[in-house]
Amino acid sequence: MVAWPGDIQAVTLFVEDLAKAKSFYREVFELPVHYEDENSAVFRFGVTMINLLAVASAPELVAPAPVAAPDHGVRAQFTLGVTDVDQVCRRLAERGVALLNGPVDRAWGLRTASFRDPGGHIWEIAAPSAPGGAGA
């Protein structure tokens, strides 16, 4: 019997500017392009593939559902585990990435920070909080 649900194999993110998004993912996440064609670029995050798809090609995948504009609000957040949130935030700043929030110690025991990619998708980095918080 096949396990249900299985692993998340891929997440497709719709982007208005494929070249800009592809450059962002290569530079910020320091990942090579796993696959690309004229409408998409795929990056591997461990076993999960993130497929950046030109918004003009999105209706083919989701019709009859409409493709929302990126300025209609946040509907998802992707969280990446890291060892040191503050160190990764410094690396993001060196790459010109503006944080939406953080680093901040959350009540549920994680230190987090969030930023937005060129397509408007929210990425969070997270690590266990130090006992007593980061300032302790």
pLDDT band at 45 (very low <50, low <70, confident <90, very high): very high
Is there a single domain that holds both residue 58 and residue 79?
Answer: no
What is the model's pLDDT at position 52?
A: 96
User: Is residue 134 in a domain?
Assistant: yes
Task: Please compute Rg for the chain using Cα positions.
Answer: 16
CATH number at residue 58: 3.10.180.10
Greater model confidence, 68 or 102: 102
- How many angstroms separate the CA atoms of 50 and 132, rounded? 35
* Cα angle value 20/111/8 (rounded, 5°): 55
pLDDT at residue 40 greater than cutoff 60? yes
pLDDT at residue 132 greater than cutoff 70? no
- How many angstroms separate the CA atoms of 45 and 42, rounded? 10
How much is the pTM?
0.83
Range of 34's domain? Answer: 1-63
What is the model's pLDDT at position 135?
A: 42
Is there a single domain that holds both residue 84 and residue 26?
Answer: no
H/E segment holding residue 21: helix 18-28
Is there a single domain that holds both residue 89 and residue 111?
Answer: yes
